[in-house]
Amino acid sequence: MTEHSQLDDFERTGGGAVLMDGNRLRDEIVAELNAEITAAGSPEVCLATVLVGDDKPSRIYVRNKQRKAAEAAMVSRHVELGADAAQGEVEEAVRDLASNPGVHGILVQLPLPEGLDADAVLELIPPEKDVDGLTPRSMGRLVRGQPGHVPCTPLGVMRLLDRYGVPTSGTRAVVIGRSTLVGLPQILLLGRKGVDATPTLAHSRTPELQAVCQQADILVAAAGMARLVTADYVKPGAAVIDVGISRTADGIVGDVDFDAVQEVAGAVTPMPGGTGPMTIACLLQNTLAGARMLGAFPA
């Protein structure tokens, strides 16, 4: 990064890097959504969640999304099916929500239990209600620059960069990871008109990955490889965003070695408390946008 003066007013880590606090920004966004919905007369803006099986982390994720939806003055609808649910049962539940005019966003919590075809389920979600931004139609709209929902995690990264004054125009950005959930849409968002970064897509098989990362003014780590990004990967003053999650003997860790990197970076996300909360914030923003697309909320 070159415009460090934009970052002067924010909380910093012990090493001097700006701490890009996703919890704080999520709560700001939730409060803004609440104010906007309340000012419009509190029309029902509904997020529907579908949970299949008894995966404990998935249950926690869904509960957190419902709680934040309530704080944003939205209503939640929840459909829960057992781990033994057949493909047809899951598809029928999603079809019902898709055809319900009172539902403005549908989130199918992934992963589904083994044996279920997630792609076939997601295909049933109309683009206007695809608030996770994961269906082929939503991804196609993103590629073509057409209106639609952007996947929540990469959108959350963009919100953090904007909120914490990280310049993007004319910068070099590197995204480690090529998933359709994060890496590929992140590249599109960083390179789109108005953002104007020059992005590079890297991955675990990129030759001289460390040298590639050292060129980045903005480094997004989304490879799912525990503490892959060390201080040696980071250009002094760069913004480093940790998206990866790995379960290790030390517990859940990210792709970034935070303690080492915060001594070199100009700005860095914590883990937890960085991109995770922003995923929920952007899900709720997408839900309100979906209500607008469907004519259920004032434009």
Does 112 lie in the same domain as 190? no
Q: What is the pLDDT of residue 249?
A: 83
| 25 within a domain of the structure (yes/no) | no
Which of 71, 96, 126 corresponds to the end of one domain? Answer: 126
- Structural domain of 98: 41-126
The reply to whether 65 belongs to the active site is: yes
Query: Which residue did the predictor score with more confidence, 245 or 281?
Result: 281
Does 94 lie in the same domain as 190? no
Does 244 lie in the same domain as 172? yes
Judge whether 176 and 129 are in contact, CB under 8 Å.
no
H/E/C letters for each residue in 52-79? ECCCHHHHHHHHHHHHHHHHCCCEEEEE
Query: Which residue did the predictor score with more confidence, 9 or 287?
Result: 287
Does 49 lie in the same domain as 109? yes
% the chain with pLDDT above 90: 88
Judge whether 94 and 121 are in contact, CB under 8 Å.
yes
Q: What is the pLDDT of residue 2?
A: 40
Does 118 lie in the same domain as 48? yes
Judge whether 53 and 65 are in contact, CB under 8 Å.
no
Q: Determine which one of 132, 242, 255, 257 is catalytic.
A: 132
| 49 within a domain of the structure (yes/no) | yes
Does 8 lie in the same domain as 67? no
The reply to whether 285 belongs to the active site is: no
| 36 within a domain of the structure (yes/no) | no
| 148 within a domain of the structure (yes/no) | no
Question: Tokens 């991804």 map to which residue?
Answer: 139
Does 180 lie in the same domain as 119? no
Q: Determine which one of 21, 65, 130, 285 is catalytic.
A: 65
Can you give the CATH number for the domain in which 104 is found?
3.40.50.10860
pLDDT tens-place string over residues 73-88: 999 999 999 999 999 9
The reply to whether 186 belongs to the active site is: no
| 56 within a domain of the structure (yes/no) | yes
Statement: residue 215 has pLDDT above 80: yes
| Total number of residues shown for the chain | 299
Q: Determine which one of 68, 109, 129, 285 is catalytic.
A: 109
pLDDT tens-place string over residues 234-244: 999 999 999 99
Q: What is the pLDDT of residue 6?
A: 52
| 199 within a domain of the structure (yes/no) | yes
Binned at pLDDT 50, 70 and 90, residue 5 comes out as: very low
Does 243 lie in the same domain as 180? yes
Can you give the CATH number for the domain in which 226 is found?
3.40.50.720
On average, the pLDDT of the chain sits at: 94
| 291 within a domain of the structure (yes/no) | no
Does 271 lie in the same domain as 168? yes
Does 246 lie in the same domain as 214? yes
Binned at pLDDT 50, 70 and 90, residue 138 comes out as: very high
